[in-house]
């Protein structure tokens, strides 16, 4: 059960609500976010919701049978919209594209990418400055100085930045320079990191774990929300399977299911999802038909020379074509949805 409190709820009213909850053996967890004051109630007993819902100080009350509550669509019918400012929004019914290299490498590369994005009217650039790499000997990113360099250039071009944060200790330094903080697949259940990201007022893109279930992804999002941050997007990036013909098994089912279960925007990552450049476009288009609110994909002027993930990275010609086809597909899907 979720209780939404009124903005001006008094201490006495809170006390009375707490007493009413304990009288039916429900445990209340206080949650305060950028947008509201909630009590998340967990208990087993059947009771008449009107007995609590009519108490002073309560704005609304919802029964949510899902084990995750705040991220469930069962209480919030309107989809969450992430507003990055300057007219860039995600989840408002439009289609969002985030594109860029796997890793930020140098100034020239950032300039090339920004020009490419501007030519294609893409407003959000992806790139890692802290890279989770399977081998410790691989390129691990330019760090905070790389982010600052990128930020100067992106800001001047009116482009927003999405970049991965790997550790709680990195958050504070990164905050001024990132528009979206990405939680990578390997950190999808790093609960300390999720707790900390719940305490900042910055949109979070949360990736599904390498072998994470859909429920585990929703629980991870609940960590962020229940710590106070409602600005969350979920990302399907493929899961580990027995198949060796591709890098990850992009779970198209997850897109459709997540769109039904949660009010949070759902973003597809076809680059990591299949891990092979030649097929990224097909998976991107399929994810749009499955209901994705946006796509995050890897692009580079010369993918063969990329410091990481070159094998799944599109060159600018491929990227431009994919962007065009994605927009057409999104419009087509939208039109068909009104049939």
Q: Nearer to ligand PEP by C-beta: 91 or 212?
A: 212
Q: Does 300 bind ligand PEP (CB under 6 A)?
A: no
**91 is an interface residue for ligand PEP by CB under 6 A:** no
Minimum CB distance to Mn ion, residue 128 (Å): 7
Under 8 Å CB-to-CB from 41, ≥6 apart: which residues?
A: 1, 2, 3, 21, 26, 27, 28, 29
Euclidean distance between CA atoms 248 and 294, whole angstroms: 19
Nearer to ligand PEP, 69 or 131 (CB): 131
Of all residues in this chain, which one has the CB nearest to ligand PEP in the complex? Answer: 184
- Dihedrals φ, ψ of 144, to 5°? -65, -35
Site membership for ligand PEP, residue 294 (CB under 6 A) = no
In the complex, least distance from residue 319 CB atom to Mn ion, rounded to whole angstroms: 15
Q: Select from Mn ion, ligand PEP, none the partner in contact with residue 207, using the beta carbon and a kind-dependent cut-off of 5 to 8 Å.
A: ligand PEP
Q: Of all residues in this chain, which one has the CB nearest to Mn ion in the complex?
A: 102
Nearer to ligand PEP, 128 or 198 (CB): 128
Residue 249 vs residues 78, 279, 316: alpha-carbon distances, Å: 30, 12, 25
What is the three-class DSSP state of 262? strand
323 Cβ contact partners less than 8 Å away, ≥ 6 residues apart: 97, 99, 120, 122
Contact predicate 309/324, CB 8 Å = no
Task: Supply angle C-alpha 66, 27, 34, rounded to 5.
Answer: 70
Interacting residues with Mn ion between 97 and 116 (CB under 5 A): 102
Is residue 179 close enough to count as binding Mn ion by CB under 5 A? no
Out of 28, 91, 100, 128, which residue is the one contacting ligand PEP (CB under 6 A)? 128
β-pair partners for 141: none
Task: State which residue, 102 or 326, has the beta carbon closest to Mn ion.
Answer: 102
Residue 205 Cα distances to 8, 164, 252, 296, angstroms: 32, 9, 18, 10
Determine, following the binding rule CB under 6 A, whether residue 124 of this chain makes contact with ligand PEP.
no
207 near ligand PEP, rule: CB under 6 A: yes
Q: Does 272 bind ligand PEP (CB under 6 A)?
A: yes
Q: Write out the H or E segment, with its range, that includes residue 181.
A: strand 180-183
| DSSP-derived secondary structure letter, 26 | P
Q: In the sheet that 58-62 helps form, which strands lie side by side, from edge to edge? A: 27-32, 37-42, 2-5, 58-62
Nearer to Mn ion, 251 or 309 (CB): 309
What, of ligand PEP, Mn ion, none, does residue 184 touch, CB below 5 to 8 Å by kind? ligand PEP
Least separation in angstroms between CB 309 and Mn ion: 4
Measured from the CB of residue 101, what is the shortest distance to Mn ion in angstroms?
8
For Mn ion, the closer of residues 179 and 309 by Cβ is: 309
Footprint on this chain of Mn ion (rule: CB under 5 A):
102, 309
Binding site for ligand PEP (CB under 6 A): 102, 128, 132, 184-186, 207, 237, 272
């Amino acid at each position: 059960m979720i209780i939404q409190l009124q903005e001006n709820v008094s201490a006495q009213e809170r006390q009375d609500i707490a007493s009413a909850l304990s009288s039916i053996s429900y445990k209340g967890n206080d949650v305060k976010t950028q947008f509201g004051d909630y009590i998340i109630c967990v208990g087993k007993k059947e009771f008449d919701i009107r007995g609590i819902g009519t108490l002073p100080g309560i704005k609304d009350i919802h029964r949510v049978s899902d084990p995750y509550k705040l991220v469930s669509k069962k209480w919030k019918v309107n989809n969450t919209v992430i507003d990055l400012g300057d007219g860039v929004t995600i989840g408002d019914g439009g289609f969002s594209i985030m594109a860029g290299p796997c890793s930020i490498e140098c100034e020239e590369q950032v300039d090339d990418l920004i020009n490419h994005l501007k030519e294609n009217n893409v407003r959000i650039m992806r790139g890692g400055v802290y890279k989770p790499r399977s081998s410790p000997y691989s390129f691990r990113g330019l760090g905070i100085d790389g982010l600052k360099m990128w930020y100067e250039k992106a800001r001047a071009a009116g482009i927003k930045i999405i970049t991965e944060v790997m550790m709680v200790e990195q958050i504070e330094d990164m905050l001024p320079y990132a528009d979206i903080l990405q939680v990578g697949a390997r950190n999808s259940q790093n609960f300390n990191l999720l707790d900390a990201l719940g305490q900042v007022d910055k949109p979070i893109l949360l990736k599904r774990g390498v072998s994470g279930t859909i429920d585990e992804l929703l629980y991870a999002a609940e960590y962020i929300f229940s710590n106070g941050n409602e600005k969350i997007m979920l990302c399907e990036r493929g899961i580990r399977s027995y198949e060796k013909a591709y890098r990850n098994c992009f779970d198209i089912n997850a897109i459709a299911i997540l769109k039904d279960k949660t009010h949070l925007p759902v973003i597809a990552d076809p680059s990591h999802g299949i891990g092979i450049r030649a097929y990224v476009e097909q998976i991107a288009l399929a994810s749009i038909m499955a209901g994705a609110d946006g796509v995050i994909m890897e692009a580079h002027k010369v993918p063969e020379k990329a410091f990481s993930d070159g094998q799944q990275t599109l060159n600018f010609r491929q990227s431009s074509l994919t962007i065009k086809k994605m927009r057409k597909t999104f419009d087509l899907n939208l039109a068909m949805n009104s049939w």
